[in-house]
């Protein structure tokens, strides 16, 4: 073979080898990219999916019927009943039981009458099973009955509600990670169960947030006015600063408006696709804080902070907001007595006829619902949301019947028509923001 042919043959070999090396290199880069994307965008499971077979040996043949189940804020709550005779009940409670046998007890009220045991964890809508406290594992929600002779029996839970879709719950961001909890009713071989499958995730989905901040008013709705100062501008400035502070804790924050809204933005499009109520309901957030400035037609000498919460809530966080603001901003609690339940804490309600065509909310223990829409309409059935579009100009809350709600608070920082309040908010806005941030950080144990 001539040297020319030998060189050509070697070149072909080298070219083939180079192509193979290049292909292998590209393949490695592609695999690395896929792994990185998977770590960033999806969850990795440290436990297998829940299966009824894991608890079949623990439970009785009878099943309890769940008539209501709600996720409000960070807590899961249940109501239901079990047909049972001669139980001689010493105690009955809902528990979240691991496959290992370890269980988390939930405060439960119960009543036995005429062969039916009724149970509820809904003493307060923002207490119950704390989803933030659960380990990465599989849990099963069971009714645990202890009889007077010390015998304990477990009963699985069957879904007797209109809500059939799984709930995807993401815990608050801590240390740049979250847990994903799939809450689902399972049914296998005629056996039902309410299961919680918990895995670790490295990143929240793009459309899921930890906190929603709602700067009151906006667009052509200025809110209260005092001289050259407008409520919507004051609360927007503080809301943007609050967003920065919460993000510095590692939280993912959605703000319902940022000052770019047009004059068409007003009270009558809050339920539109990009309206503040719809945004909050779609956010997957656990808490909403709405900032406002108060006003009163009377000539007030004394103003102060007012924190509004929903009906039938544990008010620990509301108290923390009020107390921290008074301390950090060197302000005072409002002297307003109407709807006051604690210093600086208010629960304003209104009665709604649940039999009317306009009320489609939770048909449970509530005779009254929150008066303030931003609290009521983001809570779904837990807060009695009811805006159903019967008033065409006002819109429709398509999430009014949702069994997943955002825990909402409305904070009146001070009074626009009280000079000392207005000056304090204008000059010490950072102190108000710090107080709110510290309350959220401490209450939810973020850092």
DSSP secondary structure letters along 353-374: -TTSTT--S--SS-SEEESSHH
DSSP summary character for residue 303? -
Of 376, 166, 160, 203, nearest to 277 by C-alpha is: 376
pLDDT at residue 53, rounded to an integer: 76
Looking at the domain that runs over 52-201, which CATH code has it been given?
2.60.40
| Residues 169 and 73 sit within 8 Å (Cβ to Cβ) | no
> Which residues lie closer than 8 Å to 144 by C-beta, 6 or more apart?
92, 93, 94, 95, 103, 105, 152, 153, 154, 155
**Residue 163, phi-psi category: left (phi > 0), alpha (psi -120 to 50), beta (remainder):** beta
**Separation in Å, CA 381 to CA 65, 132, 226, 352:** 19, 21, 37, 14
pLDDT at residue 5, rounded to an integer: 45
Maximum distance among all Cα pairs of the chain, rounded to whole angstroms: 109
Q: In a structure prediction context, what are the per-residue pLDDT tens digits for the chain, which is 447 residues long?
A: 544 444 444 455 455 566 665 566 666 566 655 444 444 444 433 344 667 777 888 899 999 999 999 999 999 999 999 999 877 899 999 999 998 889 999 999 999 999 999 999 999 999 999 999 999 999 999 999 999 998 999 999 999 999 999 999 999 999 999 999 999 999 888 889 999 999 999 899 999 999 999 999 999 999 999 999 999 999 999 999 999 999 999 999 999 999 999 888 887 789 999 999 999 999 999 999 999 999 987 777 789 999 999 989 999 999 999 999 999 999 999 999 999 999 999 999 998 765 554 444 444 444 689 999 999 999 999 999 989 888 877 889 999 999 999 999 999 999 999 999 999 999 999 999 999 999 999 999 999
pLDDT at residue 52, rounded to an integer: 78
> Which residues lie closer than 8 Å to 435 by C-beta, 6 or more apart?
321, 324, 325, 327, 328, 329
DSSP structure string for 142-202: EEEEEETTS-EEEEEEEE-SS--S-EEEEPPPBTTBEEEEEEEEEEETTEEEEEEEEEEES
Q: How far apart are CA 66 and CA 119, in angstroms?
A: 9
**Residue 332, phi-psi category: left (phi > 0), alpha (psi -120 to 50), beta (remainder):** beta
Phi first, then psi, for residue 270 (nearest 5°) are -70, -15
**Six-digit token string for 369:** 């619902």
pLDDT at residue 46, rounded to an integer: 39
Q: How far apart are CA 46 and CA 82, in angstroms?
A: 34
The radius of gyration of the chain from alpha carbons, rounded to an integer in Å, stands at: 27
pLDDT at residue 364, rounded to an integer: 43
pLDDT at residue 237, rounded to an integer: 98
In this structure, the strands spanning 407-415 and 287-294 are: parallel
Classify residue 430 by burial, with Cβ atoms within 10 Å: 0-12, 13-18, 19+: middle
User: Cα dihedral sign for 310, 313, 319, 325?
Assistant: negative
Question: Structure pTM?
Answer: 0.87
pLDDT at residue 106, rounded to an integer: 98
pLDDT at residue 57, rounded to an integer: 83
Strand partners, 5: none
Q: How far apart are CA 357 and CA 111, in angstroms?
A: 32
Question: Mapped to the 3 state alphabet, what secondary structure does 270-300 carry?
Answer: CCCCCCHHHHHHHCCCCEEEEEEEECCCCCC
Neighbours of 136 (CB within 10 A): 14
Indicate the CATH number of 211-444 among 3.40.50.1820, 3.40.50.300, 1.10.8.60, 3.40.630.40.
3.40.630.40
Q: What is the signed CA dihedral for 31, 33, 39, 42, rounded to 10 degrees? A: -90
Domain boundaries, the chain: 52-201, 211-444
User: Cα dihedral sign for 399, 403, 404, 408?
Assistant: positive
């Amino acid at each position: 073979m001539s040297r020319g042919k030998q060189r050509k043959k070697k070149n072909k070999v080298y070219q083939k080898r180079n192509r193979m090396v290049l292909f292998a290199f590209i393949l490695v880069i592609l695999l690395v990219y896929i792994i990185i994307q998977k770590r960033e965008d999806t969850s990795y499971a440290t436990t297998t999916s829940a299966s009824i077979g894991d608890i079949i040996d623990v439970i009785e043949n009878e099943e309890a019927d769940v008539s209501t189940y709600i996720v409000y804020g960070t807590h899961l709550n249940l109501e239901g009943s079990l047909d049972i005779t001669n139980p001689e009940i010493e105690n009955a409670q809902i528990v979240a039981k691991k496959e290992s046998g370890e269980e988390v007890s939930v405060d439960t009220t119960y009543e036995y009458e005429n062969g039916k045991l009724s149970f509820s964890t809904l003493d307060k809508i923002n207490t119950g099973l704390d989803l933030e406290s659960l380990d990465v594992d599989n849990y099963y929600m069971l009714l645990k009955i202890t009889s007077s002779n010390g015998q304990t029996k477990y009963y699985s839970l069957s879904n007797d509600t209109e809500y059939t879709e799984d709930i995807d719950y993401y815990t608050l961001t801590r240390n740049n990670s979250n847990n994903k909890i799939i809450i689902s009713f399972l049914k296998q071989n005629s056996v039902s169960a309410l299961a919680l499958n918990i895995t670790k995730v490295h990143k929240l989905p793009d459309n899921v947030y930890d906190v929603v901040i709602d700067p009151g008013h906006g667009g052509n709705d200025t809110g209260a006015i005092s001289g050259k100062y407008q409520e919507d501008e004051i609360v927007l400035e503080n809301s943007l600063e609050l967003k920065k502070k919460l993000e510095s804790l590692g939280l993912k924050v959605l703000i319902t408006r940022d000052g770019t809204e047009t004059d068409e933005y007003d009270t009558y499009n809050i339920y539109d696709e990009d309206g503040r109520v719809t945004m909050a309901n779609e956010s997957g957030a656990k808490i909403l804080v709405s900032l406002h400035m108060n006003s009163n037609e009377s000539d007030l000498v004394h103003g102060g902070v007012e924190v509004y919460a929903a009906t039938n809530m544990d008010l620990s966080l509301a108290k923390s907001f009020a107390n921290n603001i008074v301390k950090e901003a060197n302000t005072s609690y409002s002297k307003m007595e109407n709807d006051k339940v604690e210093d600086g804490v208010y629960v304003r309600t209104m009665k709604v006829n649940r039999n009317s065509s306009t009320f489609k909310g939770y048909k449970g223990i509530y005779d009254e619902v929150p008066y303030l829409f931003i609290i009521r309409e983001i809570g779904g059935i837990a807060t009695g949301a009811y805006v159903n579009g019967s008033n065409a100009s006002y819109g429709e809350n398509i999430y009014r019947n949702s069994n997943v709600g955002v825990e909402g608070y409305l904070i009146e920082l001070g009074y626009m028509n009280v000079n000392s309040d207005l000056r304090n908010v204008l000059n010490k806005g950072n102190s108000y923001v710090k107080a709110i941030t510290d309350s959220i950080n401490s209450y939810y144990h973020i850092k």
